[in-house]
Structure 1
Amino acid sequence: MISAQFLLTALVVVLAPGTGVVYTLMMSLGQGRRAALPAALGCTFGIVPHLLAAILGVAALLHSSAVLFQIVRFAGIAYLLYLAWQAVRRGGALNIGAERGDNGFFRIAARGALINILNPKLSIFFLALLPPFLSGNPATATSEMGLLGAVFMALTFAVFLGYGLFAAAARDRLLTSARAMAWLNRGFAAAFAGLGLRLALEKA
């Protein structure tokens, strides 16, 4: 069940750059080490609804219902575009180098959670990822999926926190250059917009 193959597969998936990684890097660059923990924590807990959906079979319903899938998808697209705007707007909540007094622990974590909650592909992803690693015993399938999901979440948190601490370590050097900050904000905004576009082009 929890095999080396599963751990390697999960690690490769978690390491791949996505919305959660981009968000964690951005918050850690903007606010330092104190933002790395809530960003990683929020992105990790944003996985929970999708994991539960996969375990309970709701993911199959989401995949089969075009209307439900589109509602969640367009909400996710709108949120990613909002984050892109917040990255480039002077004084925006995600703008690196701007004053961000409202970005407390809860706000940072809540944004990270929403990024994953509003991605309908995650439910379908877990429905595809976890079953191949089950023992094949129907009586323990639910508990096994829960355990595999918990391991995946632990890996997600550890990797994202690592990304965040790495970004925080580079923060002082990067923030001394106004030009670097401007390009970072544009780059992160482009990343969020690009991820939103990719989500818009995907089909259920």
Structure 2
Amino acid sequence: MEFLLTSLVVCVTPGTGVLFTIAAGLSRGTRAAVIAAVGCTLGVVPHMIAAVTGLAALLNASAVAFETLKYLGVAYLLYMAWSTLRDKSELTTQDRGADEPRSAGRTILTGVLINILNPKLTLFFLAFLPQFVDADEPYAFLRMTELSAYFMLITFVVFAAYGRFAAAMRSRVISRPHVVRWMRRTFAVAFAALGARLAFL
């Protein structure tokens, strides 16, 4: 229960994944928000694999590897800020349920990259998961995999809820062009700020 509660707190706390999912919900509706949540959830998998195989410990021990991952994440967040700021596409109140597969695939890929390039997740799995697995646990690998699966489920549910709420607010936002402009600027600044914070992690 303690693991589940802590995981919930971690997922509810706004970060890059939450920000991306909310942006998808506001700009393209519920379907896009859920797809974004799927992408962010899949982005947890590499960190989970690293944790259960011991790669996370090696990454943490290698300053060069950790710094490389960190600055790749910073660069990608700055790219997200720039892309959001230059986006001039028109928003409509219609939920784009018929999005092209390529668009859905791009949304998933972006969500995956956002979390893959987040070294804080690596630190989370490295420092947090082992606390809930006994040193003499005969099936430690399976136990860590199970806990990681719970974390992924919580991530998806929380992110999808954020996204659906944002999608429900679309009509109020889109009917005001000046709000849309400031919304994009706000998201761009938020992505840039998260990138700057990550740079000094």
Q: Does 1:45 align with 2:50?
A: no
1:160 Cα deviation after fit: 0.5
RMSD over equivalenced CA pairs, Å: 1.8
1:87 alignment counterpart: 84
Question: What TM-score, normalized to structure 2?
Answer: 0.92
The one-letter code matched in structure 2 to 1:14 is C
1:39 Cα deviation after fit: 0.1
Gaps of 5+ in 1: none
Aligned residues: 195
Q: d(CA) in 2 for partners of 1:51 and 1:114? A: 15
Question: What TM-score, normalized to structure 1?
Answer: 0.90
Q: d(CA) in 1 for partners of 2:81 and 2:132? A: 37
Segments ≥4 residues shifted beyond 6 Å: 100-103
User: Given the alignment, which residue of 7, 27, 31 partners 2:28?
Assistant: 31
The one-letter code matched in structure 1 to 2:39 is G
The one-letter code matched in structure 2 to 1:62 is L
Q: Does 1:186 align with 2:180?
A: no
2:139 aligns to what SS in structure 1? Answer: helix
The one-letter code matched in structure 2 to 1:117 is I
1:138 aligns to what SS in structure 2? Answer: coil
- Deviations 1:140-198 (CA, angstroms, capped at 9, x unpaired): 11111100000000000011011110000000111110111111111111110011001
Q: d(CA) in 1 for partners of 2:70 and 2:195? A: 9
The one-letter code matched in structure 2 to 1:21 is V
Gaps of 5+ in 2: none
Q: d(CA) in 2 for partners of 1:186 and 1:34? A: 23
2:61 alignment counterpart: 64
Q: Does 1:73 align with 2:70?
A: yes
